[in-house]
């Protein structure tokens, strides 16, 4: 039974009144949601509170879940909106983006480091990382979200379009523009 089929079966059980089935969904997705929320809400305690709020909202709205998208895509959208609402209520904006992959591992930029690390190479890798962080932080939120969903979370263009509630062409454009901005900042470093 695939992940989508398992989620659909659990959702059907919850919709029939079996509350324990929702616990399984929470256990399955809680770490991904906490990590996602943590990209917006930098305080770990607040991120946990917001993640809990996400699951409460999802539970209350599960009766209206139509299955037009994958459960995680639907939950992801709730998480993004809840995190943004939390920040708006606090009067803050996200300033940084976590550059770890979906499994919690650092992005492949570390692969630039080999066993023969010279001081120059270590400095270059550190400068590349800093440039990526700085460039990502400077991107408009819609571009930053689109590129993060694609490159870090590994979502498909269709899933991103659903999560961001925009046409797939807009997603492609945002990702292209974000990549252009990153390329423009990284090109001088990589030519060294």
Instruction: Provide the CATH number for the domain around residue 11.
Output: 1.10.1740.10
| Low-confidence residues in the chain, pLDDT < 50 | 93-96, 109-115
pLDDT, position 57 = 93
Domain boundary among 51, 75, 95: 95
Number of structural domains (the chain) is 2
Q: What is the pLDDT of residue 137?
A: 86
CA dihedral sign, ordered 118, 124, 127, 128: negative
pLDDT for residue 59: 92
Residues 77 and 139 in one domain: no
Q: How far apart are CA 164 and CA 65, in angstroms?
A: 17
pLDDT for residue 111:
47
Looking at residue 114, what is its pLDDT? 43
Residue 184 is part of which domain span? 97-192
Final residue of a structural domain among 35, 62, 95: 95
Tokens of 101: 């992959």
């Amino acid at each position: 039974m695939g992940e989508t089929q398992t989620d659909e079966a659990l959702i059907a059980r919850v919709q029939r009144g079996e509350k324990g089935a929702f616990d399984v969904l929470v256990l399955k997705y809680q770490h991904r949601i906490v990590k996602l929320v943590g990209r917006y809400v930098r305080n770990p305690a607040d991120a946990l509170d917001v993640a809990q709020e996400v699951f409460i909202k999802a539970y209350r709205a599960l009766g209206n879940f139509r299955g037009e998208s994958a459960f995680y895509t639907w939950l992801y959208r709730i998480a993004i909106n809840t995190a943004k609402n939390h920040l708006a209520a606090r009067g803050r904006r996200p300033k940084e983006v976590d550059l770890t992959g979906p499994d919690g591992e650092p992005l492949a930029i570390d692969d630039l480091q080999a066993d023969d690390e010279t001081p120059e190479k270590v400095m270059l890798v550190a400068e590349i990382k800093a440039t990526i962080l700085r460039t990502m932080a400077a991107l408009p939120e819609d571009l930053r979200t689109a590129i993060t969903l694609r490159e870090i979370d590994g979502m498909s263009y269709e899933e991103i379009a659903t999560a961001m509630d925009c046409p797939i062409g807009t997603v492609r454009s945002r990702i292209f523009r974000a990549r252009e901005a990153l390329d423009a900042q990284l090109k001088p470093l990589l030519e060294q």
